Amino acid sequence: MAKAIRIYNTLSRTIEPFTPLHENRVGMYVCGPTVYNYLHLGNCRTFSSFDIVFRYLIYAGYQVRYVRNITDAGHLEGDRDEGDDKFAKRAKLEKLEPMEIVQKYTQYFHDVMQAFNCLPPSIEPTATGHIIEQIEMTKLLLEKGWAYEVDGTIYFDVEKYSKENSYGILSNRNLNDLLDGTRELSGQDEKQGRLDFALWIKAKPEHLMQWPSPWGNGFPGWHIECSAMSQKYLGNEFDIHGGGMDLIATHHTNEIAQNCACNGVSPARVWMHTNMLTVNGVRMSKSAGNGFLPNELFSGSHPLLEKGYSPMSVRFFMLQSHYRSTLDFSNEALQAAEKGYARLMNAIKLIDNLKTEGDNASYIQSLTDKCEAAMNEDFNTPIAISHLFEGVTFINNVNDGREKISASDKIAIKKLFHDFVFDILGLKMESEQGNDKLDGLMQILLAQRADAKARKDFAASDLLRDQLLALGITIKDGKEGATYNL
């Protein structure tokens, strides 16, 4: 049953039956974060969504190799290789080495992933750890005539590629449409075509992150890293490639072009993309001032938030929307999710103590079938959750003496909730307090943080918050002072 999985493929724009290339094994690549700044919530949604895919494929009996990269070099501000290097710019701003920036924000990323209870991927390769592979791939593209060099920078020739291949296959757009969406080349541009993109970029002498190459010192372009690393760990062809939908038009389009030009085959069979976030119906973005960070959501410190929400309430909230739908944040929706999550956890706590009698053994099996059917249909978490809540009502009714549960159904419902709530949806029990000593210690730390805030020493209060987050402890700021979640 669980193996009858169907997935929406961006490439075909339809829901297709999922059949892996190799029986019982799945290779999945997801574009990871660019670690030059605090991870934003859109990324959290994307990685939580693919965490669900990873978990469900494992539940379905597949052996999954899940590769999610860390972009720690070579990402310029513009997706088409324009503007400053994101790491160099941030390093200058924070007066740190670029690799200190990488270390700091990789750590933050891992802390947030842990707070959201996302499983680590099987392999987490970095761009800086695969410079040789990226140079080799660039060399091959030059040799095959798909790329050209201009003064130490190597560009991919999109126009030439388009003569034999469909460059806009993923976004379903033809070359003229794509050309219309890009700016005209100016006299200062080195590249020959407007859609051409850099595989290798010549570094200025003062650029800190640079490596020797056959074309002089430089650094890789952003798109080549994912082509090189997916090929290295998953082969020329693999099953699933994923990321946020903002990657379709350029990054993933260029990845397909690079891999096809090198190997003659498209890298992934299924392309999956997560939708964007909105806040009170408005697209979440830095410029709109509504782009709160995970920490701000946990602590409630953003002006748009009435209070803080625990990581598991937020995870539950995110799972209540399908990954291909927009996810709208509002105080009402978050508070409803917080209550829903608590109701789910309370029901699970009741299961062990339910009194058994009678025999209605078919009910839980049908509920399990419905949960599996929902997940089989393109990982539909909101529908699976609605079926789980039928189970919650049933548990509460049995507990109140309004319904009966047989011994075998009690075992089955415990397994259903364990499998779906903990293993597949990746939710876990959160406790508001630890033991007395720990609670005492936390009150001291919270008082110190309140003190630092009163002194306007926000660096100290943020540091304390981040260090606690690294331990999996989140702070919630509320009207009556701060509280914590373990």
100 φ, ψ to 5°?
A: -70, -40
Smallest distance from Zn ion to CB 310, Å: 31
User: Nearer to Zn ion by C-beta: 248 or 383?
Assistant: 248
Choice between 241 and 465, CB closer to Zn ion = 241
Q: How far apart are CA 86 and CA 94, in angstroms?
A: 12
Per DSSP, the three-state class of 185 is coil
Cβ proximity to Zn ion, 168 vs 300, nearer residue: 168
**111 backbone φψ class: left, alpha, beta (φ>0; ψ -120 to 50):** alpha
Q: Using CB under 5 A, which of the segments 47-55, 180-188, 219-227, 299-307 binds Zn ion?
A: 219-227
Q: Is 392 in the site for Zn ion (CB under 5 A)?
A: no
Q: Near Zn ion by CB under 5 A, which window of 182-190, 220-228, 388-396, 477-485?
A: 220-228
Q: How many residues bind Zn ion (CB under 5 A)?
A: 2
Q: Interface with Zn ion includes 76 (CB under 5 A)?
A: no
> Is 226 a residue that touches Zn ion (CB under 5 A)?
yes
Nearer to Zn ion, 28 or 305 (CB): 28
**Segment interacting with Zn ion (CB under 5 A) among 24-32, 91-99, 169-177, 313-321:** 24-32
Token pair listed for 67:
């590769």
In whole angstroms, what is the distance from residue 306 CA to residue 308 CA?
A: 7
Q: Which stretch binds Zn ion (CB under 5 A): 27-35, 263-271, 422-430, 454-462?
A: 27-35
Q: Which is nearer to Zn ion, 31 or 67 (CB)?
A: 31
List, in sequence order, the alpha helices (H) in 151-293.
158-164, 175-180, 222-234, 253-263
Nearer to Zn ion, 34 or 37 (CB): 34
* Helix H or strand E segment including 246: none
Tokens coding 7: 């997935």
Give the nearer residue to Zn ion in terms of CB position, either 31 or 198.
Answer: 31
> Of 33 and 300, which CB lies nearer to Zn ion in the complex structure?
33
Residues numbered 302-321 forming contacts with Zn ion, rule: CB under 5 A? none
Which one of the spans 218-226, 282-290, 295-303, 472-480 is the region binding Zn ion (CB under 5 A)?
218-226
End-to-end CA distance of the chain: 37
Q: Which stretch binds Zn ion (CB under 5 A): 108-116, 128-136, 177-185, 226-234?
A: 226-234
Closest C-alpha to 140, from 32, 231, 269? 231
**Residues 218 and 203 sit within 8 Å (Cβ to Cβ):** yes
DSSP letter (8 states) at residue 128:
G
Nearer to Zn ion, 31 or 240 (CB): 31
Alpha carbon distance 306, 28 (integer Å): 38
Binding region for Zn ion (CB under 5 A) out of 29-37, 56-64, 404-412, 414-422:
29-37
Answer yes or no: are the C-beta atoms of 300 and 306 closer than 8 Å.
yes
- Comparison of 31 and 170: residue with beta carbon closer to Zn ion: 31
Footprint on residues 272-291 left by Zn ion (CB under 5 A): none
Q: Torsion-angle region of residue 73: left (phi > 0), alpha (psi -120 to 50) or beta?
A: beta
Binding test (CB under 5 A) with Zn ion, winner from 2, 28, 30, 31: 31
For residue 305, which phi and psi values (nearest 5 degrees)?
-100, 135
At closest approach, how far in Å is the CB of 149 from Zn ion? 24
Contact 333, 349 (CB under 8 A): no
Amino acid identity for residue 374 in this structure? A
CB of residue 251 vs Zn ion: minimum separation in angstroms?
5
In the β-sheet with 327-329, what is the strand arrangement from edge to edge?
282-283, 277-279, 327-329
Q: Near Zn ion by CB under 5 A, which window of 72-80, 97-105, 223-231, 395-403?
A: 223-231
Give whichever of 31 and 442 is closer to Zn ion, judged by the CB atom.
31
Q: Kindly state the smallest distance separating residue 199's Cβ from Zn ion, in Å.
A: 14
Closest approach of Cβ 340 to Zn ion, in Å? 34
Residues 6+ apart with CB under 8 A from 417: 347, 348, 351, 388, 391
Residue 67 interacting with Zn ion (CB under 5 A): no
Provide the sign of the torsion angle of the four alpha carbons 304, 306, 308, 309, taken in this order.
negative
Per CB under 5 A, residues contacting Zn ion are 31, 226
